[in-house]
Amino acid sequence: MYFWNYIKKNIWNNKLSFKERKQQGSNCILYVPNIIDVWEITKEKLNNFLRLWNKVVFEEYENWKLYSKTWLNNYIVWKIWDSQICIFDNHNLAFYFIWKYFQNIQNKLNLIHIDQHSDMYKPYFYPKKLETLEDIEKYTFEWVNVWNYLLPLQKLWFIKDIYQKRTETSVLELEDEIAENNILNIDLDFWEENMATTDKSLQKIKKYIWKSPLILLATSPYFIEQERALKLINKLLL
């Protein structure tokens, strides 16, 4: 219903500065790519999947300027060994991928949040129960945005503890018993050029990639240049 489609209503990330964007001549339409399930991936195949597209997936009006950001033509779910890697643009899609993962998992996990933002704002409302795929899509695309999708995951009993890692120092101090066998929720804007981060933290996170059951990689088009984000994906995964 939402994937491989356009969001035209004043909902989801489209709600951000909706009126101001309209006044600036924007059509206020955001594209939602489709999800592709892939299995065996080489570096060449991965780069074939990760090709930039020209459709707007995030838009904001800030400092009297309209910013229209594009991404890829698809999201990727890559299943390899005992890990599942999800690659997508806006970070609130993590809500959808985590919920879907827990359809077949009974035990709760901790979540390691590696991001320059906390994403811990309160949403407009908390759902009491989400049972069907249609329910979860509706909540994902109509109620949460890039700032407020984490707390509902705890309310729904999917996540035990959330460990916020928002500086290089905190990442380098990450302990194995916390990082391994838990969710890695990574926003690649953590390594945006203006952040005080280096390859040291990148290599630290890389060592946990194949030791985690669920790895979420958000490329955050508004906060980091997507060419740089794609290079970071290659460094982390290959």
Quick one: pLDDT at residue 45? 73
pLDDT tens-digit series, residues 105-123:
778 899 999 999 999 999 9
Amino acid making up residue 6: Y
Q: Is 23 exposed, middle or buried (0-12, 13-18, 19+ CB in 10 A)?
A: exposed
The domains of the chain, with CATH numbers, are 38-51+73-237 (3.40.800.10)
pLDDT at 236 over 70: yes
Tell me what pLDDT residue 19 has.
Answer: 96
The model's pTM is 0.94
Query: Looking at residues 177-202, what average pLDDT do you find?
Result: 94
- Torsion angle (degrees, nearest 10) of CA 12, 16, 18, 24: -140
Mean per-residue pLDDT of the chain: 92
Q: Give the tens place of pLDDT for each residue, 30-79.
A: 999 999 988 766 666 777 788 888 999 999 999 999 999 999 889 999 88
The mean pLDDT of 20-24, rounded to a whole number, is: 97
Tokens 């904001």 belong to residue: 60
Per-position b or e across 168-179, b if 16+ CB within 10 A of its CB: beebeebeeeeb
What is the mean pLDDT of the segment spanning 178-185? 94
pLDDT given at position 156: 81
Please give the Cα distance from 121 to 78 (Å, whole number): 29
Asked if residues 78 and 84 have their Cβ atoms less than 8 Å apart, the reply is: yes
pLDDT, tens only, 135-175: 999 999 999 999 999 999 988 878 999 999 999 999 999 99
pLDDT at 238: 82
